[in-house]
Structure 1
Amino acid sequence: MDYQKLIEAHRNKKADVTCAVLASMRNRDSEFGIFKVDSDNKVTEFREKLGEKPVKCISVENSGKSNDSVHNNFLGMGIYVINRDVMKKLLREYFPRANDLRSEVIPGAISLGMKVHAYCFDGYWEDMRSIKAFYQANMESTKKTNIGYNFYDKDSPLYTLPRHLPPSLITDAVITDSVIGDGCILNTRVGDGAIIEDSILMGSDAYQMQDVQANGIQGKDMDILIGIGEGSHVRKAIVDKNARIGKNVMIINKDNVQEANMEAYGYTIKAGIVVILRGAVIPNGSIL
């Protein structure tokens, strides 16, 4: 999102509060609520979920009812622009006991008849509130067509803090439809014959060399190096940092389990996605 456009819309409307909303209702399960908006983009109601009653603040009557008969529902994004003086009044005078901006302060501003407007955003946005949402967003970034977000769009550059890692080293591998981060070594860290499909690998904080035992460094599970062992198959999974996956391991959710808490064994399953926990050790030959 270009926040400059959001602020410009807020100023042009001379709004007290502007709420960013999604142009599409494709995901109806937003934790940021549903905003009812009239033809002038003024917010007239707020609901926690579609179909529920509007949220109103106790002891405050709605003095800003709209006569506009045309209304549309939009998903909230949890992004707001609020004038400083308006925020002070809302928190100090009207709702000093409020604990939540979304469910108390914003509906309160609507009830008071303040100028609460919506800014309709039609670009890419994902609510990373769950394992499933995180997984889907990552998978969409690897698509050749209908890509969710284009990291290489020159008109919308993505600024981030570089980690100053060396270039990735890839030898003897066949890789398609993937995004490879800096500092990866894809030969010893991902063993010969290993297959990884539709998965997210978070990498590791340190690398282990194959001759780690030969140098006299020993300990529990040191025979399984950080990374994915030879002949293993990983499909529809998220592998967290510093995980050790042994040889000939099958992480494929063979029973199509949707939810499971197996933290004692180093993994969980959320929405059918196998999550290998940080620092987990999956023994040779395991089938998950």
Structure 2
Amino acid sequence: MPQTSLMMTLQFSSSGTPVNVQAKHFLIPGLGRYDHKYSPKLPSKFPKTSIFNSHQIPNPILHQPPVNQSVAAIVFGDGSESRLYPLTKRRSEGAIPIASNYRLIDAVVSNCINSNINKIYALTQFNSTSLNSHLSRAYSGASLGKEGFVEVIAAYQSPEDQGWFQGTADAIRRCLWVLEEYPVAEFLVLPGHHLYKMDYQRVIESHRNRKSDITIVASNGITKRDRDPGVGVLKINTENQVMQYSLKSNKEPVNYAVVEAYLFEGYWEDMRSIEAFYQANMECIKKLNTGYNFCDRDSPVYTIPRNLPPTVVNDAMITDSVIGDGCILNRCKIKSTVVGMRTKIRDGAIIEDSVIMGSDVYQIEDGRESSIKSTSVPIGIGENSEIRKAIVDKNARIGKNVKIINKDNVEEGDREANGYIISGRIMVVLRSAEIPDNSIL
């Protein structure tokens, strides 16, 4: 079984013309055992939902158990090799902050909740402390009902299985004894670092109507950011059956049987790179509805409820930006920027086309005793500093008169020893890095 976090390119042809689509994740039944003695109260008929794909059977199957009783989600929040480094230096991909107030994994978990799937397992392994803490604090009873849960299953070793998880399929295999705790009929396998909105009930209905063994959800279209040697290729026929799978880096394809493809039309970004993450943040502040909508009333995005004060704006000029809770913005200029929680931006600072992730704490600067170790550069953005096209990770200390502008127009650069790297001409300041006064990067 291919990795769920792996993007794949599908070749689909209904009239002789190939159309590129991308495979993202799987609906996999049969991993758990369905107890036929289990008899939940069934609705008179399964709810009708519209199907994107014209090849799918239009009539729903009657007397299917509701998804909150018969379907569980398996969410993977991390991977051993991440192209989002250094954002993943101390956290997993799913735990990366996005759009001021959220974590990446919130999008997928919210899809589950909004699709009435309330049994959610999160399988974690690498740098999972932050992600585990977030999931346990954010979803302990959040719209999950009496029998719903978000349960974190961390990687483990046992006498039968030595070593860590060896990929997605191995992780599921080794956790079957946990997954079989509830008598569900299907498992929805989801990567936790993708950004999209989807009604999974439509996928489940299509899966059941077609009597599929495995259904892969695929997204129409391909962007320039997706043209990558690690992208796989799937060939499907006019009935949306997957015939072949191969990686671009491998010459030998793998032939399938019994695998179906479900085509999805909406926005989908899988965060395969720093550039993709940066663009996803930039798209969430555009006036045009081209990106992910964090303000959708019909499909809300859930996260940790926080007791932070409102943001304080003191004579600042802010345009086309998103500002998180609890910020202190003094006489600064902010344009086309995502500003995370508890960010402090001081007088004269200019920030454009950037992502500022904010801070985990408030630093006291008036001489009183503070739990934060005193340094020459306080947390936040210093006076008269300039930041353009950059990602500034949490708790960073940017001094006075600093310029983070990629002055030499470098495409790629490893300056981690100095507190930053350059990826795709995007400056990335590391978590808790200290950039001294008057630095020009």
Give the TM-score category using the shorter length: 0.7 to 0.9
For 2:274, the equivalent position in structure 1 comes to 131
Indicate whether 1:37 and 2:236 are aligned: yes
State the Cα deviation string for residues 215-273 of structure 1 (Å, max 9, x = none): 37799872321000110000011111111101110000011111111111111111111
State the Cα deviation string for residues 22-60 of structure 1 (Å, max 9, x = none): 11122333845222111111111112139x64522xxxx
Q: How does 1:86-97 map to 2 (within 5 A)?
A: none
For 2:107, the equivalent position in structure 1 comes to none
For 1:207, the equivalent position in structure 2 comes to 362
- Residue type matched to 1:55 in 2? P
- Residue type matched to 1:129 in 2? R
Indicate whether 1:147 and 2:290 are aligned: yes
State the Cα deviation string for residues 151-195 of structure 1 (Å, max 9, x = none): 122232222232332222222111111111122222292011100
Question: Which whole-Å CA distance do the structure 2 matches of 1:30 and 1:122 have between them?
Answer: 24
Q: How does 1:247-286 map to 2 (within 5 A)?
A: 247-286=400-439
Residue 159 and residue 199 in structure 1: after superposition, are their counterparts in 2 closer, same or farther (change >3 A)? Answer: same
Most deviating of 41-50 and 17-26: 41-50
Indicate whether 1:49 and 2:258 are aligned: no
Structure 1 gaps, min length 5: 57-106
Question: Which whole-Å CA distance do the structure 2 matches of 1:153 and 1:276 have between them?
Answer: 31
Residue 9 and residue 217 in structure 1: after superposition, are their counterparts in 2 closer, same or farther (change >3 A)? Answer: closer
Q: How does 1:23-172 map to 2 (within 5 A)?
A: 23-26=220-223, 27-29=226-228, 31=230, 33-49=232-248, 53=251, 55-56=253-254, 110=256, 113=257, 115-172=258-315
TM value normalised by structure 2: 0.49
TM value normalised by structure 1: 0.74
Question: Which whole-Å CA distance do the structure 2 matches of 1:183 and 1:24 have between them?
Answer: 39
Give SS of 1:175's match.
strand
Question: Alignment partner for residue 212 of structure 2, among 9, 15, 24?
Answer: 15
Residue 116 and residue 230 in structure 1: after superposition, are their counterparts in 2 closer, same or farther (change >3 A)? Answer: same
Indicate whether 1:191 and 2:346 are aligned: yes
Contact 1:46 1:54 in 2 (8 A): no
Question: Which whole-Å CA distance do the structure 2 matches of 1:29 and 1:166 have between them?
Answer: 43
Larger RCO (alpha carbons 8 Å, 6+ apart): 2
Residue 277 and residue 284 in structure 1: after superposition, are their counterparts in 2 closer, same or farther (change >3 A)? Answer: same
Q: Percent of aligned positions with the same letter in both sequences? A: 59
Question: Which whole-Å CA distance do the structure 2 matches of 1:241 and 1:38 have between them?
Answer: 47
Contact 1:135 1:200 in 2 (8 A): yes
Cα RMSD between the aligned structures? 2.3
Contact 1:243 1:279 in 2 (8 A): yes
Question: Which whole-Å CA distance do the structure 2 matches of 1:198 and 1:186 have between them?
Answer: 17
- Residue type matched to 2:420 in 1? Y
Structure 2 gaps, min length 5: 1-197, 331-342
Residue 30 and residue 11 in structure 1: after superposition, are their counterparts in 2 closer, same or farther (change >3 A)? Answer: farther
Question: Which whole-Å CA distance do the structure 1 matches of 2:270 and 2:244 have between them?
Answer: 22
State the Cα deviation string for residues 93-126 of structure 1 (Å, max 9, x = none): xxxxxxxxxxxxxx5xx1xx3x210011111111
Question: Which whole-Å CA distance do the structure 2 matches of 1:54 and 1:140 have between them?
Answer: 37
Number of residue pairs the alignment of both structures matches: 230
For 1:95, the equivalent position in structure 2 comes to none
Residue 285 and residue 218 in structure 1: after superposition, are their counterparts in 2 closer, same or farther (change >3 A)? Answer: farther
Contact 1:233 1:251 in 2 (8 A): yes
- Residue type matched to 1:9 in 2? S
Give SS of 1:268's match.
strand
Question: Which whole-Å CA distance do the structure 2 matches of 1:221 and 1:210 have between them?
Answer: 9
